[in-house]
Amino acid sequence: MIAKTKILVVDDEEVVRLSYLRTLKGQHCNVHAVADGKNALRMMSQQPFDVVLLDLRLPGMDGMNILKTIKQKWPESEVIVITGYPAVDSAKAAVTLGAFGYLAKPLGPDAVINAANGAMLHKRWALRCDQAVQRAAMV
């Protein structure tokens, strides 16, 4: 994992939050966790995260609405939807809204690390491409 990657875990199940926290902190990441969408958006407004691991079924605001808001306000953040209720329709909707990935629970530590790594590499590649396009436009 790229050092100092900022990751936000959004899941209403404490055992899941703690598991992802423990796994990702072992990778030298800056990891925070919240149990609902309201707190996720509050945390994002305080310090946007590089990667968000997002459950779909949450109290209050559902995961799709959170995903939509994150991608509108912080498009550079990569979101990975992780759900215990996978379905083709929700996977399509998530990708359409800009999710980097869509995974089914339960996930082992290696799958969590690989997903976060993939999202962070994608983000870095996208930022490089954006910079190259900006430089080319100046010429």
Residue 59 gets which letter from DSSP? S
- Please give the residue range of the domain that contains residue 79: 6-138
Greater pLDDT, 71 or 121? 71
Q: Distance between CA atoms of 47 and 96, rounded to whole angstroms?
A: 25
Question: Model's pTM, two decimal places?
Answer: 0.87
CATH of the domain at 133: 3.40.50.2300
* Predicted local confidence at residue 122, as pLDDT: 81
Query: How many domains does the structure of the chain reveal?
Result: 1
Predicted pLDDT at 133: 47
Distance of CA 54 to the CA centre of its chain: 6
| Cβ-based neighbours of 41, under 8 Å, separated by 6 or more | 61, 66, 69, 70
pLDDT of the residue at 6: 94
Over residues 72-91, the mean pLDDT reads: 96
Q: Is residue 1 part of a domain?
A: no
Residue 138 binned pLDDT confidence (cut-offs 50, 70, 90): low
Let me know if 24 is exposed, middle or buried by CB neighbors in 10 A (0-12, 13-18, 19+): buried
Question: Alpha-carbon distance 52 to 79, whole Å?
Answer: 5
Domain-embedded: residue 112: yes
